[in-house]
């Protein structure tokens, strides 16, 4: 996982670092290219997103201010105001940005559908969380709990949710076609279940923290994926 | 669902109204009898919990004050202070209380394991939410997003989570024994997955609200339950 400092210092403008971290993409899901007119290939945008990420990890959602993002941003604060309508706009953009990066990464790392699906699950619900990962997930949960009061966040979460679902459905479709997954697995239905399963595991983990049964959860996730296989392995 | 007025006016002290509402038990899960020394049979406690429920639905979590709970409580405000160490204590108790009621209701309405499981799913992720149900779920999501900063809530959510899981595992065990569920379904693993699935579906629903694909989610939940059956129905 990229820490805030590395992210801020990074000069590589098309740097995949921000979402090298599966957690950045975390609650997120994914954004269809251009959905909010925000390409991850824009170098300035990448820098702003790194600053947003750094501030989120350091401050959490409730204490986040434009100034705390500016503090992580190596260029002029006025650029933030020029490109974004305030904190909420920056955060909504961040969700979309991280989501798009996450989706891209999943796409490129392998073209084996089963491996892609296991990697996606592993990134969203890893065995352990370091401090930064934990703090980011907490900030994202806070952001999520704002959605009922914030139309902009709600809209963005709908995009993120749909996007993660369609990414999973794509992997499943290819897997059914290739014979890796059971022929009777309906990609849309299974993707819908998997998004809930992953979102729920992440939410429960944060709500109970040290007490969260990560071992049992990962066993359950593995068993769930095993069931989707054409020739299921015995349940673990 | 009980609305705040009915709950406040209710005189029946062992009134199941508060958790007549599946949503009250909502994010919750269940509390093992006596876990936090809070019996649902205590009439004064039931009255206080109804007041807490009423205030939560009206005000949400962020705007909740002891005074707003007192406004819903027909007796002296001093009783609230006498029995509870402030707002957080009241809310943690409310979680436990609603959870215990929810668990009791699931237990008594039928002894058919499949019907119990479907009813539990149906209560936690109903086809539609009325305004009060929606507002309560939103308040509970806010409360959940406080858990990382609040040890008392985190402890209570661990109890709630474990309790919902054990309730589901119990139903599954009985179903495997009776032959309703597949003999190779591991109750603990399946319960773990189901708790995440339900928690995730509820969280996603609130994050996207009008855009939430409730039809698809319920189809996915049904398909998931169908798979647990000894003689699976065709996937819907």
Domain boundaries along the sequence of chain B: 4-228
Contacts of B199 in chain A (CB under 8 A): 199-200, 203-204
- pLDDT by residue (tens digit) across B97-130? 999 988 888 888 788 999 999 999 999 999 999 9
**pLDDT for the residue numbered A40:** 64
A34 touches chain B (CB under 8 A): no
Mutate which of A208, A229, A233 to test chain B, going by most B C-beta atoms within 10 A? A208
**pLDDT for the residue numbered B236:** 52
- CB atoms A196 and B193 under 8 Å: no
**pLDDT for the residue numbered B30:** 36
A220 touches chain B (CB under 8 A): yes
Please give the residue of chain A at the shortest CA–CA distance from B184: A235
- pLDDT by residue (tens digit) across B142-179? 999 999 999 999 999 999 999 999 999 999 999 999 99
Transcribe A183-210 into DSSP letters.
TT--HHHHHHHHHHHHHHHHHHHHHHGG
Contacts of A192 in chain B (CB under 8 A): 213, 216-217, 219-220
Q: How far is CA B53 from CA B4, B59, B95, in A?
A: 7, 10, 10
**pLDDT for the residue numbered A39:** 56
- CB atoms B154 and A195 under 8 Å: no
**pLDDT for the residue numbered B34:** 32
| SS3 (DSSP) at A162 | helix
A13 touches chain B (CB under 8 A): no
- Predicted confidence band of residue A159 (pLDDT cuts 50, 70, 90): very high
B195 touches chain A (CB under 8 A): yes
Give me the total of CB pairs closer than 8 Å, taking one residue from chain A and one from chain B: 139
- pLDDT by residue (tens digit) across B2-59? 333 333 333 333 344 444 443 444 433 333 333 333 456 789 999 999 999 999 999 9
**pLDDT for the residue numbered A164:** 94
Q: Which of these, A174, A169, A159, A208, lies nearest to A38 by C-alpha position?
A: A159
Give me the residue from A155, A193, A206 closest to B197, CB to CB.
A193
B131 touches chain A (CB under 8 A): no
Transcribe A43-78 into DSSP letters.
HHHHHHHHHHHHHHHHHTTTT--HHHHHHT-SS-HH
Instruction: Give the tokens for residue B209.
Output: 């609200």
**pLDDT for the residue numbered B40:** 64
Contacts of B220 in chain A (CB under 8 A): 189-190, 192-193, 196
Among A6-15, A98-107, B68-77, the range with the most confident prediction by mean pLDDT is B68-77
Q: Contact, B114 vs B180, CB < 8 A?
A: yes
**pLDDT for the residue numbered B39:** 56
Distance CA A159, CA A96 (A): 8
- pLDDT by residue (tens digit) across B53-95? 999 999 999 999 999 999 999 999 999 999 999 999 999 999 9
B221 touches chain A (CB under 8 A): yes
- Predicted confidence band of residue A235 (pLDDT cuts 50, 70, 90): low
The nearest CA of chain B is from the CA of A142 a distance in Å of 5
Distance CA B54, CA A6 (A): 48
Give me the residue from A138, A157, A206 closest to B208, CB to CB.
A157
- pLDDT by residue (tens digit) across A22-55? 344 443 333 333 333 345 678 999 999 999 999 9
Mutate which of B129, B145, B154, B186 to test chain A, going by most A C-beta atoms within 10 A? B145
- pLDDT by residue (tens digit) across B188-207? 999 999 999 999 999 999 99
- pLDDT by residue (tens digit) across A162-194? 999 999 999 999 999 999 999 999 999 999 999
The nearest CA of chain B is from the CA of A107 a distance in Å of 24
Q: What average pLDDT does this structure show over A202-221? A: 95
Distance CA B147, CA A137 (A): 12
Contacts of A216 in chain B (CB under 8 A): 188-189, 192
Q: Which of these, B90, B131, B120, B110, lies nearest to B30 by C-alpha position?
A: B120
Q: How many CB atoms lie within 10 A of CB B86?
A: 11
**pLDDT for the residue numbered B230:** 87
Out of 1.10.357.10, 3.40.50.300, 1.10.10.60, 1.10.1740.10, which CATH number does the structure's domain A4-228 have?
1.10.357.10
- A117 pLDDT above the threshold of 90: yes
The nearest CA of chain A is from the CA of B91 a distance in Å of 15
Q: How many CB atoms lie within 10 A of CB A67?
A: 11
- CB atoms A141 and B142 under 8 Å: no
């Amino acid at each position: 996982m990229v820490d805030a400092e590395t992210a801020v210092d990074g000069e590589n403008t098309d740097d995949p670092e921000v979402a090298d971290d599966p957690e950045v993409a975390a609650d997120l899901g994914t954004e269809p290219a251009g959905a909010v007119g925000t390409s991850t290939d824009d170098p300035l945008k990448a820098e702003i997103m790194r600053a947003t990420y750094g501030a989120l990890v350091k401050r959490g959602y409730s204490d986040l201010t434009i100034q705390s993002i500016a503090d992580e941003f190596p260029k002029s604060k006025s650029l933030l105001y020029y490109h974004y309508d305030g904190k909420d706009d920056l955060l909504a953009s961040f969700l979309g940005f991280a989501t798009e990066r996450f989706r891209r990464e999943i796409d490129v790392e392998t073209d084996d559908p089963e491996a892609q699906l296991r990697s996606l699950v592993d990134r969203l619900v890893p065995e352990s969380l370091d401090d930064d990962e934990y703090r980011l997930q907490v900030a994202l949960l806070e952001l999520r709990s704002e959605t009922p009061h914030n139309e902009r966040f709600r809209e963005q979460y709908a995009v993120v949710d749909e996007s993660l679902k369609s990414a999973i459905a794509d992997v499943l479709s290819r897997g059914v076609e290739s014979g890796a997954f059971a022929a009777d697995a309906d990609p849309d239905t299974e993707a819908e279940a998997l998004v809930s399963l992953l979102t729920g595991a992440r939410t429960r983990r944060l709500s109970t923290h040290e007490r969260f049964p990560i071992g049992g959860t990962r066993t359950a996730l593995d068993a769930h994926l095993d069931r989707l296989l054409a020739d299921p392995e015995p349940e673990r």
